Copies of this chain bind each other. A is one copy, B any other.
Amino acid sequence: MIQTIHLKKRPVGAPTLDNFELTESENNLNIKDGEVLLETKYLSVDPYLRGRMSDAKSYVPPFEVGKPINSGIIAEVIDSKNENFKKGDFVRDRLDWKTLQVSDGENLQKVNPDKAPLSAYLGIVGMTGLTAYLGLHEIGKPKKGETLIVSGAAGAVGSVVGQIGKILGLTVIGIAGSDEKVELLKSEFGFDRGINYKTTDDMKAAIKEAAPNGVDIYFDNVGGEISDAVLFSINKFARTINCGAISVYNNTETPTGVSVQPFLIKNSALMQGFIVSNYSDKFPEAMEQLSTWLGEEKLTYRETIVEGFENTPQAFLDMMDGKKKGKMIVKV
């Protein structure tokens, strides 16, 4: 039996379980020469998937209604007619939300379960870590002693960004949505200061207080009002990495806020949209650095693992709600 999760209908505003459909079908999969049969072990649910559920131009094509959703998946090779892969290998790829599927092996990347836990290849040594590392380096261009502010700081990417910032000698401030998360930023991820935006009336003032020397780098995972407030503290030559805008992804109208242009002009500041896949030539060196830091225990991570393929849609909704800490992963 194969289970598949389809996009049933496109969400308008916040997604609900109604947007997804789980179907079951007979396993009649046969592999041909060059192909492998894959059994899904771990699925990654991420904010950017929300964008793909809408029928709008973006950096990846939208999901099609009635077709399986796809995301980063760790799978086990359970049968192979491809000389590069043997039964028992673990691989990573962007794959369909199916319990079993066939691949031609082209984009499969082998992962080593002895070097890091399998789920980490969807997180800190996978796209999450690469996003944090490459966004911070390639756009943020951090210099020791600068001030870095991170929104969505307790999230999968944000918590790695802050830790890398500390490794590089930055002052690191995190913005998150609960006192518990803010405490975690400081106690577990080594952030210097944290701001709970849900209990803070005046974010402009809170950011000014937390960053008395101003903000040199803003790693932005959320967009919206939080990012508007950061503008009032940016320094000359500040760099903003626009990595995500989770706060507005559910908007049905074009979101509005503070006009950034006057702030950019008066500070000679930069904002740049960041998509990790644009930097794939730098993945090997970045993964090497991330796994070294992980081995040296300079990096730590949190993940929330939800058991059961059928719970993937709910895991996605919980991740969007910000209810969970760290990287959200489904274990099949």
Contact = CB atoms under 8 A, between A and B. Distances in A.
Interface of A: 51, 57-59, 220, 223-224, 227, 236, 242-245, 248-249, 254-275, 278
Q: Copy number in this complex?
A: 2
Contacts of A254: 258-259
Nearest to A234: B273
Contacts of A272: 264, 268-271
A106 to B, nearest CB: 23
Nearest to A232: B254
A267 B271 CA distance: 12
Nearest to A260: B260
B270 A248 contact: no
Nearest to A278: B268
A263 B223 CA distance: 11
B57 A266 contact: yes
Contact of A265 (B224, B245, B261): B245
25 contacts: A58-B266, A59-B268, A223-B262, A224-B261, A242-B264, A243-B265, A245-B261, A245-B262, A245-B265, A248-B261, A254-B259, A255-B258, A255-B262, A256-B258, A256-B259, A260-B260, A260-B271, A265-B273, A266-B273, A267-B273, A268-B273, A269-B272, A270-B271, A270-B272, A271-B272
B269 A273 contact: yes
A262 B274 CA distance: 11
A267 to B, nearest CB: 6
B273 A270 contact: yes
A153 B51 CA distance: 35
A227 B262 CA distance: 12
